[in-house]
Chains A and B, each alone.
Chain A
Amino acid sequence: MEKDIVNIGKSVVIKGELNGSEDLTIEGHVEGTIQLRDHVLTIGPNGRIKAQVFAKMVIVLGEVNGNITATDKVDIRDNGSVEGDLIAPRIAIAEGAHFKGSIDMQRKGAPQAQAKPAAQPQAAAPPQASAPAGAPQTQQRVGV
Chain B
Amino acid sequence: MGLLDRISTRKSDSEPAAFQPPVPDVDPLFSTKALRKFLGCLTSREGPVLIDLGPVVGSNVAYFGEQLGCKIFVTDVFADLDRHAREGRLDQFGDFLASKFTQESASVDGVLCWDFIDYLDKPTAQKLADQLTRVLRPDGALLGFFGTAPQGGDTYYNKFIVSDEGVNLRARAYPALRSRQSTLLNRDIIRLFSGLRVSDSFLLKNNQREILFRKPSA
A contact residues vs B (CB 8 Å cutoff): 90-95, 97-105, 107-108, 113, 118-125
User: Does A124 lie within 8 Å of B74, measured CB to CB?
Assistant: no
CB of B101 closer than 8 Å to a CB of A: no
User: Does B74 lie within 8 Å of A103, measured CB to CB?
Assistant: yes
Q: What are 27 contact pairs spanning A and B, CB under 8 A?
A: A90-B66, A91-B61, A91-B66, A95-B58, A97-B58, A100-B79, A102-B71, A102-B73, A103-B71, A103-B72, A103-B73, A103-B74, A105-B65, A105-B66, A105-B69, A107-B47, A107-B65, A107-B66, A119-B62, A120-B163, A121-B62, A121-B67, A122-B59, A123-B27, A123-B59, A123-B170, A124-B57
Taken residue by residue from 44 to 82, chain B's Cβ proximity to chain A (1 for < 8 Å, 0 otherwise) reads as 000100000000111111110111010111111001000
Other A-B contacts than A93-B58, A103-B72, A125-B62, 4 sampled, CB-CB below 8 A, are A100-B75, A121-B165, A123-B59, A124-B57
Q: Interface size of B by Cβ–Cβ distance < 8 Å?
A: 28
Residues in B with CB closer than 8 Å to A92 are: 58, 62
Which residue from A99, A103, A120 sits with its C-beta under 8 Å from B165? A120
Q: From residue A5, how far is it (CB to closest CB) to chain B in Å?
A: 26
Residues in B with CB closer than 8 Å to A107 are: 47, 65-66, 69
Residues in A with CB closer than 8 Å to B60 are: 121
- Within the assembled complex, what's the spacing in Å between the Cα atoms of A99 and B76? 9
Residues in A with CB closer than 8 Å to B71 are: 102-104
The total of interchain contacts (Cβ-Cβ below 8 angstroms) comes to 79
User: Does B63 lie within 8 Å of A121, measured CB to CB?
Assistant: yes
B contact residues vs A (CB 8 Å cutoff): 27, 47, 56-63, 65-67, 69, 71-76, 79, 161-165, 170, 172
Which residue from B65, B163, B172 sits with its C-beta under 8 Å from A103? B65
User: Does B161 lie within 8 Å of A103, measured CB to CB?
Assistant: no
Residues in A with CB closer than 8 Å to B61 are: 91, 93, 103
- Within the assembled complex, what's the spacing in Å between the Cα atoms of A94 and B161? 13
Q: From residue A69, how far is it (CB to closest CB) to chain B in Å?
A: 14
Which residue from B67, B163, B170 sits with its C-beta under 8 Å from A118? B67
Which residue from A101, A119, A124 sits with its C-beta under 8 Å from B58? A124
The list of the 4 closest CB pairs from A to B, nearest first, reads A125-B58, A107-B69, A93-B58, A105-B65
User: Does A102 lie within 8 Å of B165, measured CB to CB?
Assistant: no
User: Does B76 lie within 8 Å of A121, measured CB to CB?
Assistant: no
Which residue from A94, A108, A113, A120 sits with its C-beta under 8 Å from B66? A113
User: Does B67 lie within 8 Å of A91, measured CB to CB?
Assistant: no
